[in-house]
Amino acid sequence: MKENKGLLIVISGPSGVGKGTICKCLLERNDGLSLSVSATTRAPRDEDVDGVTYFFKTVDEFKAMIEKGEFFEWAVYNKNYYGTPAPPVLESLEKGKDIILEIDVQGALNVKPRFPQGVYVFVAPPDMETLRERLRGRGSESAEQISNRIAAADGEMAKRFEYDYIVVNDNLDNAVADVEAIIRAEKLRTERMAKKSEN
Amino acid sequence: MKENKGLLIVISGPSGVGKGTICKCLLERNDGLSLSVSATTRAPRDEDVDGVTYFFKTVDEFKAMIEKGEFFEWAVYNKNYYGTPAPPVLESLEKGKDIILEIDVQGALNVKPRFPQGVYVFVAPPDMETLRERLRGRGSESAEQISNRIAAADGEMAKRFEYDYIVVNDNLDNAVADVEAIIRAEKLRTERMAKKSEN
């Protein structure tokens, strides 16, 4: 019986909901998982490592990738380009590796029609006030950026029903275990098991 | 936020595949789960407890239950009636309890159209020879019953694609953990989370 193709697990939700922390824990606890690395034209911060946190590109390089159709999705935030390069994701999946894609709501819903066989997980806050508190507590952003993110959060929450699963992040360990259960269960779905036995 | 309704988890598969042992472990390890108790007209065996292993009924009592439409499904095996009474299952689900229904393939596929919102798990053997060995090793049945079950197994295996999930029972602990992951993940599915937030 040949190995099944890998799973693309999309972890999404409003800013401040803790999806980055969940993904970090998932990667630490599961050797078989790796993270999709985005490309961006924004300036690297101190903690950034090219090819690990992002692929850092010039605007010209990024535009060339757009023209070659290399992105699952791309967008502009705060005058910087951000995008998910498709070729490395597809190559990993073909090799049977599972890939985590951490992405905002707009990005996830742009990927979904292009890759409906992915598993789309919406990370929700326990309540909206908790989310606002978390956003206000962030040190890396201007007051304007924070207030934009708070304004966006209500609209993003309304999109949660377009996902396959909703994980409420009221406790990090529980939320990580929820995503692990989702990954384990998705691999047992009859469609995927059927594909496996055809190979 | 009101508690969601319970989940009906149907654990099915050919005789000898180990579904009874999997269910026993699931119940031992998960306080929130309980087992659907079948009704039967067969004679109790030494280990049977009325209302726990089965509800033991006379043929007349069983037929009266059929006429009142009280069964999810019923069938005759070896001249005995067996059936799954619907009312106790529906009551438990309404209270938010999760119910495990251990049932053969024919029975499961009769329940499915009547309760499509259930979660249908097919337990498969690692290979057919292992299954035949397990059936031959059973002490409680005649040679004819065993050979009937072996003959039925191929047809039952072909029905596995009508289930939501396929769990291969090559290791009991893994198979139980697979079903636990399925239950956990199913509770996070957007349809169920949406129903929950409507209540």
pLDDT of residue B196: 63
The answer to whether residue B62 scores a pLDDT higher than 90 is: yes
Q: How far is A50 from chain B (nearest CA, A)?
A: 35
Q: How far is A165 from chain B (nearest CA, A)?
A: 4
User: pLDDT tens across B9-29, in order?
Assistant: 999 999 999 999 999 999 999
Q: How far is A113 from chain B (nearest CA, A)?
A: 18
The answer to whether residue A136 scores a pLDDT higher than 60 is: yes
Q: CA-to-CA distance for A107 and A73, rounded, in angstroms?
A: 6
Where do the domains of chain A lie? Answer: 8-198
The answer to whether residue A97 scores a pLDDT higher than 60 is: yes
Average pLDDT over residues B68-83: 94
pLDDT of residue A186: 97
Q: CA-to-CA distance for B158 and B166, rounded, in angstroms?
A: 12
Residue type present at position A27: L
**How much is the ipTM here?**
0.88
- pTM to 2 decimal places: 0.89
Average pLDDT over residues A192-198: 69
Q: Considering the domain A8-198 in this protein, what is its CATH number? A: 3.40.50.300
In eight-state DSSP terms, residue A127 is: S
The answer to whether residue B149 scores a pLDDT higher than 90 is: no
| Rg, Å, chain B Cα set | 17
Our measurement of the distance from residue B131's CA atom to the centroid of its chain's CA atoms, rounded to an integer in Å, reads 18
Q: CA-to-CA distance for A116 and A8, rounded, in angstroms?
A: 10
The residue with greater pLDDT, B149 or A140, is B149
Select the residue of A180, A184, A194 nearest B161 (Cβ to Cβ): A194
Our measurement of the distance from residue B156's CA atom to the centroid of its chain's CA atoms, rounded to an integer in Å, reads 14
Helix, strand, coil shares, percent, chain B, to 5: 45, 20, 30
Residue A82 contacts B, CB cutoff 8 Å:
no
The answer to whether residue B109 scores a pLDDT higher than 80 is: yes
The answer to whether residue A158 scores a pLDDT higher than 70 is: yes
Judge: A164–B194 Cβ closer than 8 Å, yes or no: no
The answer to whether residue A187 scores a pLDDT higher than 60 is: yes
Query: Strand B71-77 vs strand B80-85: parallel, antiparallel, or unpaired?
Result: antiparallel
Q: Phi/psi zone of residue A83: left (φ > 0), alpha (ψ -120 to 50 degrees), beta? A: beta
Of B152, B93, B157, give the one whose Cα is nearest residue B124.
B157
Residue A4 contacts B, CB cutoff 8 Å:
no
Q: What percent of chain A has pLDDT over 70?
A: 95
Between positions 116 and 155 of A, the ones with CB within 8 A of B are: 122
The answer to whether residue B138 scores a pLDDT higher than 80 is: no
